[in-house]
Amino acid sequence: MNKKFNIIKISGFKGLVIFVFAIGCLIAGFLTFPGWVCMHIWNFFADYFSQMPVMNLFHGMLLWAIIALSFYALNKGDLLISFGTAAPVQRNDERIREIIRQINENNMRIMNKEKFSSNENTSSAEKTEDDVLNNKM
């Protein structure tokens, strides 16, 4: 079994540039653009009220972060996003047991094949040594 997993592999300057670009796009899409929208909405209403400060982009991003984190904290799991079927899949214990049994059988077959091939390799090596000794006599 291969225990070496490469989830993200960044090799060379090109890989680093692509990684920085991807992080920049994520920041722009999930933080900067909504912050820009919040800034413009705030500044639109600030023109109609006296004594209301005007925001810059940094303040808009902070306002967006406050809105997003408040929504996340107060949501309590009511508005979940789900991909796939609308109805939850019913749990079928018999099917799960059958799948586990098949996996165990496949593992046993693989282990038996490995044992057989290792026994075959050692026995063939022993045979060749015996043949060499018999030919010398």
| pLDDT tens-place string over residues 117-132 | 776 665 555 555 555 5
pLDDT the model gives residue 62 = 95
Q: Is 38 exposed, middle or buried (0-12, 13-18, 19+ CB in 10 A)?
A: buried
Whole-structure pTM value: 0.49
As a 3-state breakdown, the chain gives helix, strand, coil percent values, each rounded to 5, of 70, 0, 30
Separation of CA 111 from chain center = 30
pLDDT the model gives residue 39 = 95
pLDDT the model gives residue 75 = 78
User: Does the pLDDT of residue 21 top 90, yes or no?
Assistant: yes
78: DSSP letter: S
Going by pLDDT thresholds of 50, 70 and 90, the confidence category of residue 34 is very high
Q: What angle do CA 100, 104, 108 make, to 5 degrees?
A: 170
